[in-house]
Structure 1
Amino acid sequence: MEWQKSYVDVILVPLAFMIFVGYHLWLWHNVRTQPLSTIIGTNARARKLWVAAIIKDNEKKNILAVQTLRNTIMGSTLMATTSILMSSGLAAMISSTYSIKKPLNDTVYGAHGEFMVALKYVSLLLIFLPSFVCHSLSICFINQVSFLINCPADEDDSCIITPPYVAGLLDQGLWLNTFGNRVFYAALPLMLWIFGPVLVFLCSVTMVAMLYNLDFVLTPEKGKSSAHQCVSA
């Protein structure tokens, strides 16, 4: 009987998850093969230039570097705090003896048994915890960058504190920040799973469409062709 109620959950929820994960795998492939066609790849290229410019003219731009990195750390701190608070609240809810499924029995389309309700909250918990870990590690990497980017130049050629090394640390920190944000975004459809699997699927499709418009930019070739068409017209 429980299976008959949960067949919609079994179909729509994994399908929504596969759409979300499949989009990000495709995005990662584009970042690796055509970085300038994506916002992530373009920003990564710009960060390397920024680090080189800051280190080259460190005496004039050291305050700018510290303030920029501090703002990034504050954003990661906010996301890490939110993730761990949500994880604590979900853990307290799971361990509570109060059953919250009773008021929702008549309004939820899909399964709402004891096991399914527990699965929904455990899934959310497993989403927020990796997001917290990623943002915490991101803070560690960016903190190191804030020290190294202001290191005085060393005349010793064997010194490894070079612009590419600092840019690599900054890239690792911001990649972790991006991954933590995307994992956090995946929690939104799962939160709507409390009200039924249909909302999970609709939310995932809508979110992927929105992220596509935010993640991709015109490639230089497309931009040139568009400009050429405008001039010809």
Structure 2
Amino acid sequence: MQNLFAPHLMDIICLAASAGLFSSHHLYVRHKLKTNPTYSLYGATTLARTAWVVNVMEEKNDILAVQTLRNSTMAATFLASTSILLAVGLLTLSGQADKLGETWHALNLFGSRAESTITLKLLVILGNLFIAFFNFSFAIRLFSHVGFLINTPPEEGSYGASITFVAMELNKAGSYFHMGMRAYYFLVPLIFWLFSPLFMLVATITLVALMSRIEKTPPLDCEYLGGLFKNSCPMPRE
């Protein structure tokens, strides 16, 4: 077993560090959402989806529901299809790993240059693409279910026609879509890993820094729409 992992030790350590850093950021955001549901755009969107379901089912906005769910389904379908196409392209490259290794490892000063290391990297990237594919597929499945449930007249005591149940299913679909996008984001460090494990660490740190800035909900500016609408700042300031 030791001889199996010894040639890839540096690459495996950097992969573990990269995955740990990426996962730590995700867990940190989840922890913050428990105390502040609008800490990130994902949390704010979750609340918005819940309010949207209540509005659609109470006001019977059937056309709005169909159009919005169709757009979400099309986005998830496109990303799921892209995942499979990338996986097929990656499998094609795996047959030329010996030739591509010389080019990819031109700047690899610390990692392994063995052909088996290239195979390991391609397998990890392939696994990441399949994780993205299954998450987007689950999202499509739930968006399809919600399309039927949301047009069912709300009925007290009926689990399937409950507004709460429909909102939970829609947010679950949003969660799968979110995790699929996370897998897409982590694909960036894995691509840099093909060239060098140190490049992967640098790419991960840069990616986490960008995600921390982009995904955080901006502070609410109560004067942003103050000149046009009254009560434009319903949420309290922090």
Would the TM-score normalized by the shorter structure come out above 0.5?
yes
- Give the superposition deviation at 1:203: 0.9
The structure where helix makes up a greater share of residues is 1
1:94 Cα deviation after fit = 2.6
Alpha carbons 2:105, 2:196 under 8 Å: kept: no
1:147 is aligned to 148
3-state DSSP of counterpart to 1:37: coil
Distance 1:71 1:195 in 2: 37
SS in 2 for 1:45: helix
Q: Which piece of structure 1 moves more, 26-35 or 187-196?
A: 26-35
CA distance in 1, matches of 2:56, 2:6: 62
Q: Look up the match of 2:86.
A: 86
Identity over aligned pairs, percent: 27
- Point out the more displaced range, 33-42 or 80-89: 33-42
Which residue pairs with 1:39 in the alignment? 41
Query: Residues 181-196 of structure 1: matches in 2 within 5 Å?
Result: 181-196=181-196
2: CA distance, partners of 1:150 / 1:200: 47
**Using the alignment, how far apart are the partners of 2:66 and 2:170 within structure 1?**
13
Query: What does the per-residue CA deviation read over 1:55-97, in whole Å, with 9 as the maximum and x for residues that have no partner?
Result: 1111xx2111111111111111111011111112223333558
Q: CA deviation at 1:219?
A: 7.0
Tell me what 2:16 maps to. Answer: 14
* Preserved CA contact (<8 Å) 1:12 1:197: yes
Task: Give 1:57-68 correspondences, 5 Å limit.
Answer: 57-58=59-60, 61-68=61-68
Which residue matches 1:224? 237
Contact kept in structure 2, 1:137 and 1:173, CA below 8 Å: yes
Secondary structure of the structure 2 residue equivalent to 1:224: coil
| Residue 134 in structure 1 maps to residue 141 in structure 2 | no
Counterpart secondary structure, 1:137: helix
Q: Distance in 1 between matches of 2:158 and 2:6?
A: 66
RMSD: 2.6
Q: Which residue of 2 aligns with 1:210?
A: 210
Distance 1:11 1:224, change over 3 A: same
Q: Higher relative contact order at CA 8 Å, sep ≥6: structure 1 or structure 2?
A: 1
Distance in structure 2 (CA, Å) of the matches to 1:63 and 1:47: 16
Partner residue of 1:229?
Answer: none
Number of aligned positions between the proteins: 219
Aligned to 1:164: 164
Amino acid at match of 2:157: S
Q: CA deviation at 1:13?
A: 3.2
